[in-house]
Chain A
Amino acid sequence: MSAVSLPWPKQLSHRPLWVAVIWLALLAAPYWMPLAGGYTALGTRVLVFGLAAMSLNFLLGFTGVLSFGHAAYFGLGAYGTGLVLKFLAPSTPLALVLGMLLGGVAGALLGALIVRRRGVYFAMVTIAFGQVFYYIAFRWHSVTGGDDGLRGFHRQPVDLGFATIDIVNNTIAFYYFVLGCFAVAVGVMAFLLRSPFGRTLLAIRENERRARYLGIPIEQHIWLAFVVSCLFMALAGGLDALLNNFADPHEIHYSRSGDLVIMAVMGGMRSFWGPLLGAAIFVVLEDYVSSLTQNWMSFIGLLFVVVVLLFPRGFLGFLQQERKV
């Protein structure tokens, strides 16, 4: 990513070396993860939820509004992708794009209704709209598969014209496909945050009244941030549907929105890469600890309490802060 060589706002506080380390770790993950007791699909899951948490953080960490219903857009992406593959056309890129658009359009429509609310009211309205989608997925059995989830579709090989990538049977190829999508999405988000639009979002987050006095159309900016966030959230959902070859109504439930907020806060919502770290900790911990004990949720809850009490800026925020001392 060439963007990283340019100066960043402080909140993004990046050093080229650390960014290079992150990308190197992600690029080499299929090779070092098995040595650390992991497996490729786990790496893919980290990327999917990392992207979801980073998309949420675009809104939470950089615009300063808390959505507790973002799982809905994750689910819309997943169901959109699955339904396209099942009923429309056996094309993975088309399914992903349409799934992403479904989430984005829903975000644009609902966002317009939500952006005037602030604080806890904003969070409550997002939960309410999110649950609407959950119940649609849960009850509309003939289309969504109801509680059993949407099945009967499979990710298809990606045809580039000159070559075909087999992401169906080759889990490593699928990991790199997801990594490619992740890189594009993260690149766009980083670009937007560095643009005047992104700086304006930070200004709104820091002091909304002041920004309003400066003549900035606040609602439009929050709406745009909401739409961008929903678009990439839906992309993450679509990738999740491709990973599992099915879409799950529980992924739309507000408790999943809570998981995404936990990932963002745990990793550090004021830093660009924090949510990825949070997602990695959450997903890997869930995977390992649940094999050891049935009470794995207690450990994740306990860790979250520890993070909130001792590292209010999240793990990455804590590390960065320590470096500045």
Chain B
Amino acid sequence: MKAGKPAGVLGRRSVLKAGAAIGALQVASPFIIQARGEMPVKIGLVDPLTGVYAAIARNEVVGAELAVAEINRNAGMLGRPVELLVEDSANDVGTGVQKTRKLIDRDEVNVIIGDVNSGIAQAMAGVTSEKKVLHIVSGGHTDTVTGTGCSWNVFRVCNTTTMDSNAVADLLIEKFGKKWYFLTPDYAYGHSVQAALVKRLTAAGGTYQGDLIPIGTIEYSAYLIKAKAFGPNVLIDVMGSGDQVNSLKQFVQFGLNKEMQVSGTLFELESLRAVPDEARVGWWTMEWWWDQPNVPGVKEFNAAIKQRTGAAATARNWFGYASVYTAALVANQEKTLDAVKLAHALSGFKLPPEVALQPAAPAYRAGDHELMSTVFVGEAHPPQGDPDNMFKVHSLVAGEKVASPVEETGCKLQWPA
């Protein structure tokens, strides 16, 4: 304490400092949007822009931005412009929840979209249902989002793990046989994919063996030797990102590709781009594909995305695009932003062909709010001609055919009074 000065009295320096701090706060505090006559409709997008899912999350943002640009060029949403507010969940559940709260409490968004990570999406749903805000899960696949953890206000664009598993399982059983060996990452996602595939396989009278492998494993020889000894028709590789690349490379190096097929559920275009040619093998599912010559609108969408990213459109681009359009279309149809009314209208809502961009126009199933989107099953290969031509679609499977019936999903929607 300074001598000769009574306690509790603010000095000149303190007053100056406080003044400077208040001044700085005016500059530092976020820009508060003033009323501009035409207040925009705000859509909040929460995705893991940093962390392991950054590449696919950014592509969802690009798709969403394209949709917003198109909507604003046309009639807008309820005649008002749309503003997209993007927040980074940093692939962390707590941050995702905090950002969702921020978008709803501070920015007063009308719709929330996100997240790529199912765990975050589900935790966000806790906030959006509490705050009664329409929530569209663009790209989190775990079944529970529209299953046991479903909510009246939550709708999902991407497929469930079960839909992808069933679509590829049917093709594998039909084409290659019923003896499979699993390389499964030892965590919730891996377990659920294996369970779905095994269910389909055993129902068809097939047999299997497999290993639960810790995430981050680099050396797969022990597992591949066991697989070779079992002699399966198909090696099911459920490993993710870097683990998927390592296991596939070693699969080819061991020459196992001459003895058996390799397959799994998702091998997204973003992942295909990131792996060397020798890992571009096997049978997989895509949830949307850019090369659909007979479907109107796809070429234009692909060109618009290419203009923004310099590469072909991916399923993630389409997820972002379809999510924003879902909100805008239903709001324009109902002429309201009331979440409960919009959610009721979205139950059974069919995406128009220019947004669906696939052979059949899918609808959000009323019982669990899952979009019954087409699954593209096919084979990965090194680029041919176009650098993004790395996947040959062999069959298109309608979502309804491979989705679990609503009563089996465990979803019980409870609508607010």
Write the residues of chain A forming the contact surface with B, with a CB cutoff of 8 angstroms. Answer: 13, 15-17, 34, 36-42, 45, 141, 146-149, 151, 169, 171, 240, 244-246, 248, 250-251, 287-288, 290-291, 294-297, 323-324
Contact = CB atoms under 8 A, between A and B. Distances in A.
6 contacts: A34-B106, A42-B106, A149-B123, A151-B126, A291-B85, A291-B102
Nearest to A18: B8
A260 B50 CA distance: 21
A146 B92 contact: no
Given A39-B102, A41-B98, A148-B188, A288 B88 contact: no
Given A17-B7, A41-B101, A290 B126 contact: no
A245 B94 CA distance: 10
Given A37-B29, A37-B30, A246-B126, A149 B119 contact: yes
Contact of A244 (B32, B105, B123): B123
B54 to A, nearest CB: 8
Most chain-A Cβ atoms within 10 A of its Cβ — which of B9, B29, B98?
A: B98
Given A17-B8, A38-B106, A323 B126 contact: no
A37 B94 contact: no
B145 to A, nearest CB: 10
Contact of A250 (B25, B94, B122, B130): B94
Nearest to A288: B30
Contacts of B1: 13, 15, 323-324
A39 B106 contact: yes
B118 interface: yes
B2 interface: yes
Nearest to A38: B106
Contacts of B98: 41, 45, 244, 287
A251 B88 contact: no
B29 A36 contact: yes
Contact of B106 (A37, A45, A169, A290): A37
B123 A151 contact: yes
B210 interface: no
B93 A246 contact: yes
A264 B98 CA distance: 22
A149 B118 CA distance: 11
A15 B7 CA distance: 7
Given A41-B102, A146-B187, A290-B87, A250 B8 contact: no
Most chain-B Cβ atoms within 10 A of its Cβ — which of A146, A151, A245, A295?
A: A151
Contacts of A149: 93, 119, 123
B93 A248 contact: yes
Contacts of B32: 37
B2 A324 contact: yes
Contacts of A296: 88
B30 A291 contact: yes
Contact of B97 (A34, A244, A291): A244
Contacts of A39: 101-102, 105-106
B188 A141 contact: yes
A229 to B, nearest CB: 22
B87 A246 contact: no
Contact of B87 (A148, A171, A291): A291
A294 B119 contact: no
B90 interface: yes
B274 to A, nearest CB: 19
A147 B28 CA distance: 36
A148 B88 contact: no
Contacts of B68: none
Contacts of B119: 147-149
B414 to A, nearest CB: 13
Closest 10 CB pairs of A and B: A148-B119, A17-B8, A39-B106, A37-B29, A39-B105, A37-B30, A248-B94, A248-B93, A41-B101, A294-B49
Nearest to B98: A45
B149 interface: yes
A151 B149 contact: yes
Contacts of B7: 15-17
A34 to B, nearest CB: 8
B337 to A, nearest CB: 20
A31 to B, nearest CB: 15
Given A148-B188, A248-B92, A291-B87, 11 more contacts: A16-B7, A38-B106, A40-B105, A146-B188, A240-B94, A246-B126, A250-B94, A291-B30, A294-B50, A324-B1, A324-B2
